[in-house]
Amino acid sequence: MKVVIVGAGSVGSSIARELLAHKHEILLIDLKPEVIGRSGLRGARWLVGDACELSTLQDAKLEDADVVVSATGDDKVNLVVSLLAKTEFGVGRTVGRVNNPKNDWMFNDSWGVDVAVNTPQLMTALVEEAVEIGDIVRLLTLQTGVASIVEFTVPHDSHVIGSTVGGIDWPEDATLVAILRDHAPITPTRDDVLDGGDELFFVTTIAAEDGLRALLSPGSDDGREPRDDAAEAADQSAEDDGFDG
């Protein structure tokens, strides 16, 4: 995969280092030639220039890129680069770094941004994910604000404990994609039984988050299996023993 990264600061360089380790083809664009020597990035190609200039992006052959990452510390630059990548070069996927949370609303398809990475928001989410139990925590926004990845840690007194994944009436636009249990990821099946401490990860629309929160909130039993296997077995046993009430 060919990835063009605009901005070779600490963020851009870190992204490039990870992608290079996964054998992707990387081109970094930066205004400052001195960043090349101090980056320590082996295998990356470089272009010194202003990425807001169309000529620089033409030199970078942006039309051949699979992904363009705008990772500078200037939100204006990141927006302009994303817009040019989409409108002038038809790049399939753009990722824009949001430095100021107040500018988050602009990082959408109107400016050519497919995925906005709001670093302060992400750090906040990671803090909340570490301490919030029993509430929905949004980890990442996807598809220009339409969908998100959220996490829910099941409290040990939750009403969903003992329910199977398939026995819960999840909101229509929320999909359980992973369960983290005892530090091991599990691909959920309909027969998996939820337990206290499970971390549930969903891909959901923003609009469906409230429904998911209401379903999982303490005191709610909406969407749960009306009877579990243990209860049915107990009833059957009582019938076998001659009891009817």
β-pairing verdict for 199-205 and 147-153: antiparallel
Is the CA virtual torsion 174, 128, 194, 219 positive or negative?
negative
- Is residue 130 over pLDDT 60? no
- Is residue 152 over pLDDT 80? yes
- Of residues 140 and 156, more confidently modeled: 156
Range from 60-64, 119-123, 175-179 carrying the lowest mean pLDDT:
119-123
Q: What is the DSSP string of 45-111?
A: EEEES-TTSHHHHHHTTGGG-SEEEE--S-HHHHHHHHHHHHHTT--SEEEEEESSGGGGGG-SGGG
β-pairing verdict for 2-6 and 67-70: parallel
CB atoms within 10 A of CB 114: 21
- Is residue 153 over pLDDT 80? yes
- Is residue 229 over pLDDT 50? no
Q: What is the pLDDT of residue 138?
A: 80
Which CATH architecture is the domain 132-225 placed in? 2-Layer Sandwich (3.30)
Tell me, what amino acid is at 200?
L
Domain locations along the chain? 2-116, 132-225
- Is residue 236 over pLDDT 80? no
Helix (H) or strand (E) holding 21: helix 10-21
Q: What is the pLDDT of residue 2?
A: 95
Going by C-beta distance under 8 Å and a sequence separation of 6 or more, which residues neighbour residue 43?
20, 26
Q: What is the pLDDT of residues 29-70, one digit of tens each?
A: 999 988 887 777 888 999 999 999 999 999 999 999 999 999
What separation in angstroms does the CA of 37 have from each of 30, 34, 46, 99? 12, 6, 11, 25
Does the domain at 2-116 match CATH 1.25.40.10? Answer given as no
Residue with tokens 């998911």: 212
